[in-house]
Structure formats: structure tokens, C-alpha cells
Amino acid sequence: MGQSIDKTSFTPVDFKRFEEKLHYCLEALDSLLARPGFGQGSASIGAELELYLVDGRGGPLLRNLEVQAQSNDPRLTLELNRYNLEFNLSPVFAAGQPFTAIEQQMLETLADLHSLLNKEGGGVIPIGILPTLGPNHFGEAVMTDTPRYQVLAEAIRQSRTDVFGINIDGPDPIHLVHGDVTLEGACTSFQLHYRTDPARFGTLWNAIQLVTPLMVGVAANSPLLLGHRLWHETRVPLFRQSIDDPEVGPDGWSKPARVSFGHGWLRGNAMELFRETVQLYKPLMPLVSAEDPRAVVAGGGMPLLEELCLHDGTIWSWNRPIFDPEGDAHVRIEMRSLPAGPTPLDMAANAALFIGLAEGLSDQLEPLLSALPFSYAEENFYRAARDGLQAQVLWPNARQNGLQEQSLASVLEQLLPTAARGLASIGVDEKEYRKWLKVIEGRLSTGVNGASWQLAQFNQLMSTGMNRKEVCRRLLAAYQSRSMANIPVSQWTDIEQAEE
């Protein structure tokens, strides 16, 4: 989805050519995956951090184009709404001290952006959903003015049978009717990319799917929208409902959701996932390149597969396969479920836990998958998004006789040694993985993550009789100061009277 486009209207012929080209891309990719040595290389970790730009009072600052230009950092890219930017971290090798390197990159970039924005009294905040958003911060006027987002917004409008309906339960249920995709832009994330041996792709994909609900619960940081207390990770239902059409079609079938947890445990390799993207989903932006990918592969070259990459970027599953033709071409796994924030330190710890759990479980996965049908894993995901660290989930045991519910926090406590073993197996230094898993231990022992801290402070401020708009402003100011200090969220103090 990051590529620029120069065409904004399409004919049925464009769609037909694009659909045909997608199948050529699949043929080419299938041949590539069978090519000896393709995608092999050292395990590496990448990340994308989506950020909010805020003004001096904590409201969204609609200046992403100007800030990107002033920063002159090619790693900063535009997002859907004018108050968001994305920082694309440079990939690091998994061996050694990768998470310290990830934290340092985030600290340096956040400091640069703070310095740039402080001149105007503003700042930048990593948070899943900005509490100070109001109804006037959505709509065409706040959308980044580029052809890519204009085409995407129009394509999603045309794919739906009605205006967008947002219905999310929680302590303060919310019901909205909206006519464009800028509500999706309220959701900012910390997306991880993990590259490993292609022969292990299927195993690691399933391991990542299995542990994703645990990660959503422990990392939750999006409990508020428009002053309403909703899910601990409100990004999950908001993103889904702002993109997908819930209506059943005239034929009685519901369309496959473009925002989903997936369709089942992976039976083969990455090709199965790429085939799903082509075979289940209609294209939104049919831009056809001149490349013949089958001819490129037949000649021993490396195709760009632009159509497949573009189409893949319009399907927002919470874990997604990525084909990267640049440099050392490979296929990797993108983990999209984690929210931005609260701090670079917390996000680096989330990355360590996510990859450590997946690697640590990879050698014992088969009996676990048979003990947990995929539909229950999906239910775990939505429970974790709704209830965070307090969620009750079903976790498999190779020796079980029937499913048994457990607290998400207790499952993670039991699995911390597994995460340590997984990180050690890919060459992460012992001092490194112990440091980052200790951050997770702090959350589990206190029961405090970004979502629970925000909710506790919101309730405290509301008890003083303050109106919701002011509560959200005070809450965000306290969040911002603690985030900038880069102290683990489990150690954040309550808002004091002086801050109120």
C-alpha cells in the first residue's frame, strides 16, 4: 500500500486485466518459492510505527505533509489521515541485541519529531487511539490529499452497500454512522516484520497466529474513542467496521472480511496465503504494470510482482504475508495487531515477547494446533481485544481432555520461559532477552498495561465532576509526559492533583 499511484479512475477492462495479472503473479511466485536458495538468509526483524501529531492542547495536528517535508527523513511516510505519520524502522538481525536497536531507532526518531514540532507547541505521540479525537476529526477534510488515499477511500465506499456503521460495546457503548474510511485512520499500530528460513514459514505463521491473542491482551493500549470507554484494544472492532461491509449480499452470502484474524491454520507454505488474497477478494485498485512476471522468473530474474503486492496491501488481516523483491528478495510475516505505544521501551518488549513465543512454541506446535480449533483461537483474539489482561482464553495443552478456560495473564506467566528459550534459539543475547522479558513480567505482576492505565485515570478524573472532553485532554497530557520519559507503563503513576 505504500506505492504511489498516478491513476484515479478505472474501467471494467482495467479490472479484468488486473485480475488476470494477479494469477500470473501467483504462478511466478510459486516458481520462485521452488527456486533453490530463494529467500534464505539470516533471521531479521523490521517494524513500522504509526504516530499521532498533536497540537499544544493535545488535539490532532493536521500537518503530516509539512512535517514529513521538514524532517527530510525517507523513513517517514504518510498515513490515511493528516494527523498521522508512519516511521519505517531499518531492519535488524535477530541475533545479538535486536530489540535494543529497535528501541534506539524509535527514541531517536521521536526525539527528532518532538524537536521539530516543539517549535510550534506541538508534539508526537505513540498511542493506539488518541483520546482527544472529536467528531470533527473525521471526514474528507482530514484525509491526506494524495491519489492513493483518494482511490482507496472511493473503492471502499463503492464496495459497501451502505454508509459505515460503527457499533462497539463496552462501559460506554458507541453507535456511529459515517460515510468514509477516515475512522480507520484513528487506529495507529506498531507492526512487526519477521523474516526467517522459508522452510519454516508455515510453522512460524501458525505459531504467530496462536500467540497473537496473548499479545493483543498484554499490549492493549486503545480503550477510548470520542470519550467512550470501549474495548481495551478498540482498534480491533473499529478497524474492522470502518472497512468491511457487514451486510449479506443478495445471494445470501457474506463477503470474506478484508480485516480478519484469518481463515484457518496454515496447511502448507506461504503460497496458500497469497492464493487466498487473490481468490477470495476483489481488487480495489487495478493498476497494471508492464512486467511479465512469469517471463522474468523463467529467465532467472526477480520479478516485482507489483499487482500482487498492491492487492495484498488492500487486505488487512491481523497477520499478513509479505513478498519483498528489493535487495535480498524474500517472503516474511507481518504482525499487525499491536497498538502503538505507550513507550519505545514497551514496544521493544512486545516485539521480544511476540517473536520469542512464536519461536519457543515452534518445535511443539502440532499437538497444540490439534488441541485448539482455529475458531477458538479467533475467539481468543476478540476476547483479548475486548478485555485486555483481564481476558479469559482457551489455551491448548497436548495432554488435555477437553478445553479449559484460563486467564490470559496466567497463560503468559507460564509461557515466559518458553519465550526466553525461543529468543535464545535465534541467537538473541541472554542479557538482552532477560531485560525485555522483565518488562513483560512487570505488566503481569501489576496488571497494568496502556489500556488499564488509561481507563483507571479516566475513571479517576471523571469522579471529580470534570467533563469528558477535559478529562481526555488531561489524561493525554499525563500520558504524553510519561511516554516521553520512556518508563515502562507498568511503573506509571496515577495522575496527581498538580497534573489535574
pLDDT per residue as tens digits for the range 223-236: 999 999 999 999 99
**Number of neighbouring beta carbons within 10 Å of residue 210:** 22
Share of the chain above pLDDT 90, in %: 86
Look-up of cell digits 491454520? 265
Q: Is the pLDDT of residue 209 over 60?
A: yes
The answer to whether 254 and 244 are in contact (CB under 8 A) is no
- State the architecture of 37-262+317-491 in CATH terms: 2-Layer Sandwich (3.30)
| Residue closest to 67 by CA, chosen among 83, 88, 47 | 83
The three cell numbers of residue 36 are 533453490
pTM for the full model?
0.96
Cis peptide preceding 342, ω within 30 of 0:
yes
DSSP code for 166:
E
The three cell numbers of residue 129 are 487511539
The answer to whether 330 and 324 are in contact (CB under 8 A) is yes
The predicted structure's pLDDT at residue 246: 65
* 154 or 291, which is more confident: 291
Residues with Cβ within 8 Å of residue 401, at least 6 apart in sequence: none
| Residue closest to 220 by CA, chosen among 89, 332, 383 | 383
How many Å apart are CA 477 and CA 482, to the nearest integer? 9
Look-up of cell digits 496515577? 494
Q: Is the pLDDT of residue 313 over 60?
A: yes
- For all residues of the chain together, what is the average pLDDT? 94
The answer to whether 59 and 132 are in contact (CB under 8 A) is yes
State the burial class of residue 255 (Cβ atoms within 10 Å of its Cβ: 0-12, 13-18, 19+): middle
**Number of neighbouring beta carbons within 10 Å of residue 65:** 14
Look-up of cell digits 508534539? 123
Task: Please compute Rg for the chain using Cα positions.
Answer: 22
C-alpha separations of 86 from 57, 113, 124, 136, 184 in Å: 22, 12, 11, 22, 15
Q: How far is CA 153 from the centre of its chain?
A: 20
| Residue closest to 377 by CA, chosen among 207, 144, 139, 151 | 207
pLDDT per residue as tens digits for the range 66-111: 999 999 999 999 999 999 999 999 999 999 999 999 999 999 999 9
- Give 323's strand partners: 331
